[in-house]
């Protein structure tokens, strides 16, 4: 098993998918990207990031 984070910081997520900050927050507002708040920091859950890039593991 790899050491993959359970959630990504917004900046890390944006860099990895090539999405701009304004577009990201517009998608969050529309409910198309789910985020979580922990300790005042907005994070993108790993499962959500995988869903958005179409790389979510298929159920066996």
Nearest to 51 by CA among 29, 27, 26: 27
Distance CA 51, CA 45 (A): 10
The predicted model scores a pTM of: 0.78
In tens digits, the chain (60 residues) has pLDDT values of: 578 889 999 999 999 888 999 999 999 999 999 999 999 999 999 999 888 888 655 555
Q: Write out the H or E segment, with its range, that includes residue 43.
A: strand 41-45
The dihedrals phi and psi of 58, each to the nearest 5 degrees, come to -80, 145
Nearest to 20 by CA among 10, 8, 29, 6: 10
């Amino acid at each position: 098993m790899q050491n993959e984070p359970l959630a990504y910081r917004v900046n890390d997520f944006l860099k990895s998918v090539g999405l701009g900050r304004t577009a990201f927050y517009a998608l969050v507002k529309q409910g198309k990207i789910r985020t979580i708040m922990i300790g005042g920091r907005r994070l993108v859950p790993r499962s959500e990031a995988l869903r958005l890039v179409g790389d979510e593991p298929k159920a066996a």
